[in-house]
Amino acid sequence: MSKHTEHSSFREKLVEHLFVGELLKLSWQHDDCGLEVAKPEVDNSGYDLIFEAHGVVRHVQLKSTYHGGLAASQKVHMRLSGKPSGCMVWVYFNETTLELGPFYYFGGKPGEPLPSLEGLKTARHTKGNQDGYKAERPNLKVVPKGKFSALKSVREVYQVLFGVPHLLSHTSDTIPSPERRPRPASKIE
């Protein structure tokens, strides 16, 4: 059994924290440090995170897959469509380095609801009952990868979530090295 299978809950939280950290870093470096992040106490409406920036509130269902993973779709909770600016962000990551990207986005523009889920397949349980029957999960729909928009960087995700195009004008996700200043001499007493 691989580490990714054996510790999948750990990995899921790690990817979530890395993703949130990257968004906060962008808010720190290039925006107004106005990004707020919240987490629901109870997960029964399909979202994992709540972000707010520039007057836009986003209820985000976060999904992740390692590079080379075979997932061709993701399941979205029907209640997410009732949230203002509800959306899904699907994060791909490197199994070894845990570097994030690319990203896939399913949602509307800032202030718009989730696209219609009508016509999407209803999800089924992954495990069958004693007879092998996999019952439908009426609150979940299957969103094929083709319905997601591909995004190359966290910067693009931030822009899509909050509509701040000025972030895209920067060419690097890193801050230039600070100037070297002489360190004050320490006193020895």
Report the C-alpha gap between 63 and 49 in whole angstroms: 11
pTM of the model: 0.84
State how far Cα 38 lies from the chain centre: 13
Residue-range domain boundaries for the chain = 3-169
Quote the tokens at residue 53.
């920036």
The dihedral sign for the CA sequence 52, 57, 61, 64: negative
In this structure, which amino acid lies at residue 174?
T
Q: What is the pLDDT along the chain (189 residues), one digit of tens a residue?
A: 677 777 788 999 999 999 999 999 999 998 889 999 999 998 888 999 999 999 999 999 999 999 999 999 999 999 999 998 999 999 999 999 999 999 999 999 999 999 999 999 999 988 888 888 998 999 999 999 999 999 999 999 999 999 987 765 554 444 333 344 444 555 555
Quote the tokens at residue 25.
């870093």
Strands 100-107 and 49-53 turn out to be unpaired
Q: Class for domain 3-169, per CATH?
A: alpha beta
Report the C-alpha gap between 137 and 122 in whole angstroms: 7
Angle CA 158–17–68, to nearest 5: 80
Classified as helix, coil or strand, 168 is helix
91: Cβ contacts below 8 Å, ≥ 6 apart? 15, 19, 62, 63, 64, 65, 100, 101, 103
State how far Cα 143 lies from the chain centre: 15
